[in-house]
Amino acid sequence: MQKWNRFQYLPVRSLGKDGRMVTGSSEHIRLSRTAAAEGMVLLKNEKHLLPLRKGSRVALFGKASADYVKGGGGSGDVTVAYVRNLCDGMEEKENAGMLSVFAPLNEFYRENVAQQHKAGKNPGYTTEPEVPAELLKQAARECDTAIISICRFSAEGWDRKGEPDDGDFYLSREEQRMVADVTAAFRKVVVVLNVGGMVDTSWFAHNDKISSVLLAWQGGMEGAMAEANILCGDVTPSGKLTDTFAASFDDYPSSSNFNDSEDYVCYTDDIFVGYRYFETIPGAAEKVNYPFGFGLSYTSFDWTCEKTEIDSESIAVTLRVTNTGTYAGKEVFQLYSSAPKCRLEMPKLELRAFQKTDLLKPGESRTITLRVPAAELSVYDEKLAAYVLPAGSYRIFAGTSVRAIREVGVFEVERERVVEQVKNRCVPKKLPQRLKADGSYEKLETGEYAPVYDTVDWPEKAHWTAQHILPNRYGTALPEDRLSFEKVAAGETPIDEFLNSLTDDELITLLGGTPNRGVADTKGIGGLDELGIPAVMTADGPAGLRIVPERGVKTTAWPVATLLACTWDPDIVYAVGEAGSKEVRENNIGVWLTPAINIHRSPLCGRNFEYYSEDPLVAGKLAAAMVQGIQSQHISACVKHFCCNNKETNRYASDSRVSERALREIYLKAFRIVVKEADVWAVMTAYNLLNGIYTSENTDLLSGILREEWGFDGLVVTDWVNWAEHYREVLAVNNVRMPHGSPRRLKKALECGLITREHLITNARYVLMWMLKLD
């Protein structure tokens, strides 16, 4: 097939067997259900209430049993053929003869939720109804076990609430009443949390009336069926937390200044994010209900350290793992390091490697090896502008959570050594202080941002106004005197010769988005058809190919990213990326705008469901697997949002004020892993400013760190309709402004000498080189 053929013609080409479509196929939906169960975390299981015994008589409480939330809103939403809920899941188990379900409650919640939806409330926004007293009494008489379901919904564009009784981080008053009524009526109570981000856990963590809790996250269109699989023992839970669950919202170090201003966020917690804070700062440890890496199983495991191999360049720890219980199951092993005391502030523990076992039968053993390059133990020294390994003894620990570890070796560094010399970049001017390991704060030198002056009489007042300077010439034949990009793709014309043949207007057009074609609704890149440059369409989103309902295409809704992270399993994440990418390809789209890997700095970020973890290593390694799965189908992944988009409030103009060290060690590390280990083809910059400069205009960030230091040679695009200035993006080598450029302003900047034709060619070259990777 001719290269880019599918971009040129609107009818789709099916990729399934026997001419069938893979988009929304039963095969993909089964994979979604499997992946969902892999990432659900069993937080509590006293008296081994779960899995439910055969013949159990179950009553489902909570509107979430009928109002299942498959994922978050905004660009993370997915148009699907259906969504099944927990009532459906447990009734499926009843039909299989595993248990009985109290039908009147299912009918009550289904009818109530349907009425709320009819009244205009969207899934997840419904209110918890009061269960009629007689219905509650009847359920208590006829059933032995109550299952309480709680759901939450959040979305792009707004942040969550962290106030008592808010029905968001905390339970609403209606939910509190329901929980109190159920726990008073039943001796056996299970809680299922259908949530996209962190929530309050104190209401059940130390509550003797609640025996078992399943953190089920948002598992896509079949997530509730995966919940039922775990509750009934068809699947042994193996998910592990990738976030620390503290006793209250106020216990998180980011909470004190999360809402200080809509104009900026001061990252005063510095490198002490998540478990780095709770395991290090005096007095913080006791504030934790469920630690990082924690997760229970229906079975038990024993492990021994067979050998530890350490030299000057690497650490390898080999463990023998045995399933000592009565259920088949999987376990996640984690490797941590503890650095020596040195002149720099250091967290007590840092995750260095992890691996999930295969499914082990009762009595079965397996050997796994956790490896980490010694360079990964380095720390960024701002004064030296270098990653260094301070001298001393680095204790190495292995185990199943940050608090269930044993020492397995010591890595010695005789003399401090520089691992990588870089340059000071993205240095803050407005960060007043940062947290130290002893809980005190270091005062920082502050100053004013360098003023940016434009004395140009711009053709439009708003720099995000779209006015195309070239018409859309879809289907126009190539003029006889022009070179074709198809000849470049065939190796017949050097790319630089082709670039030099383009007019200024054509180059400018390549640096902005192009109109939608086919089923796309987030615009495309390229589109100079008469020159053989295809229009490569883009699509959201992080939980599945997002095609708006009006297009009539139903795709697969996969589990949200936080759930996928809790699998700790790159193989299952790769499989999801590969399958999702086939749906993208089948619909003639070339760029899937995922994964999103911003850090879970605060529980309140409205898009945390799209992101992976509080820890950059987990986020980076699993996102790398996602990227590899996507790009195996010759579809471009686009990792986002680069960087420090950890809050949705005023996201277009909020200034993220963060130290250079925290930036490099926490907020950029996952991106670095994806660039270096997965060779991601595209990066999306964030809306926000980073230390006073829009990320899309930030030369230190893009030309310095991303390209010079990391060696990234792919495409950089903006987030959609940002508030930055296009010509400054060109100078920073942010190649494409989406969903359209500011071509008239860019042309004016060229005329005024703010940019040169060479700047245009440099950026256009990245666009075309990226296109050559696609087919």
CATH number at residue 384: 2.60.40.10
Phi, psi of 287 (to 5 degrees): -85, 0
Are 625 and 718 within one domain? yes
Contacts of 646 (CB under 8 A, 6+ apart): 265, 598, 599, 601, 602, 605, 656, 667
Q: What is residue 131's predicted lDDT score, i.e. its pLDDT?
A: 97
DSSP string, 294-308: --B-SS-EEEEEEEE
Contact 595/269 with Cβ under 8 angstroms?
no
Q: Say if 267 falls within a structural domain.
A: yes
Q: Is 521 exposed, middle or buried (0-12, 13-18, 19+ CB in 10 A)?
A: middle
Note the pLDDT of residue 472. 56
755 and 640 in a single domain? The answer is yes
Q: Are residues 245 and 361 in the same domain?
A: no
Question: CB–CB of 499/760 below 8 Å?
Answer: no
Report residue 310 as tokens: 């350490």
Based on the fold, state whether residues 505 and 601 are members of the same structural domain.
yes
Q: In this predicted structure, what is the pLDDT of residue 762?
A: 98
> 212-215 and 188-194 as β-strands: parallel, antiparallel, unpaired?
parallel
Annotate 198-262 with DSSP letters as a single string.
----HHHHT-TT--EEEE----GGGHHHHHHHHHTTSS------SS-EESSGGGSTTGGGTTS-S
CA-based nearest residue to 749, from 458, 512, 507:
458
Same-domain status, 315 and 272: no
Residues 232 and 303 in one domain: no
User: Does 630 share its domain with 699?
Assistant: yes
- Number of residues in the chain: 775
CATH number at residue 128: 3.40.50.1700
Instruction: Please give the pLDDT value at position 269.
Output: 97
Residue where one domain finishes, among candidates 399, 430, 461: 430
Boundary of a domain, candidates 412, 430, 448: 430
Residue 707 lies in a domain: yes
Alpha-carbon gap, residue 224 to 32, rounded angstroms? 11
Q: Indicate whether 421 and 503 sit together in one domain.
A: no
* Residue 256: how many other CB atoms lie within 10 Å: 12
380 and 426 fall within a common domain = yes
> Nearest CA to 370 among 398, 338, 395?
398
Residues 228 and 349 in one domain: no
* Residue-wise DSSP of 462-503: STT----SS---TTPPPPTTS--HHHHHTTSS-HHHHHHHS-
679: domain CATH number? Answer: 3.20.20.300
The 10 Å Cβ neighbour count of residue 17 is: 9
Characterize 477-490 residue by residue with b for buried, 16 or more Cβ atoms within 10 angstroms of its Cβ, and e for exposed.
eeeeeebbbbebbe
Catalytic positions: 719
What are the distances in angstroms from CA 9 to CA 299, 546, 552?
A: 53, 20, 18
Domain residue limits at 719: 485-771
Task: Please enumerate in sequence order all residues whose Cβ is within 8 A of that of 115, keeping only pairs 6 or more positions apart, or say none.
Answer: none
Same domain, 609 and 704: yes
- Rg of the chain over Cα atoms, rounded to whole angstroms, equals 27
Strands 350-356 and 386-389: unpaired
Q: Is residue 291 in a domain?
A: no
Give the pTM. 0.97
Mean pLDDT by 10 residues, the chain (775 residues): 69 84 97 98 97 98 98 93 98 98 98 96 93 98 98 93 94 98 98 97 97 98 98 98 97 87 95 98 98 98 97 96 98 98 96 98 98 97 98 98 98 96 98 97 95 81 62 66 94 97 97 95 95 96 93 96 98 98 96 98 96 98 98 97 94 96 98 98 98 98 98 98 96 97 94 97 98 94
Could you say which of 430, 445, 466 is where a domain stops? 430
Residue 414 lies in a domain: yes
Tell me the C-alpha distance between 688 and 263, whole Å: 10
The pLDDT value recorded for residue 541 is: 85
627 close to 575: Cβ distance less than 8 angstroms:
no
Q: What are phi and psi of 482, to 5 degrees?
A: -110, 145
Looking at residue 339, the DSSP 8-state letter turns out to be: P
Q: Are residues 34 and 156 in the same domain?
A: yes
Is 653 within a domain? yes
Tokens 């929530």 correspond to: 199
Which has the closest alpha carbon to 277: 332, 345, 343? Answer: 345
317 assigned to some structural domain: yes
Question: CA–CA distance from 500 to each of 356, 479, 495, 737 (Å)?
Answer: 51, 16, 9, 21
Q: What confidence score (pLDDT) does residue 1 get?
A: 46
Domain count, the chain: 3
39: number of Cβ within 10 Å: 31
Query: DSSP assignment of 413-473, as one string?
Result: ESS-EEEEE----S--SS--EEE-TTS-EEE----PPPP-------SSSSTT----SS---
| 68 in a structural domain | yes
Is 439 part of any domain? no
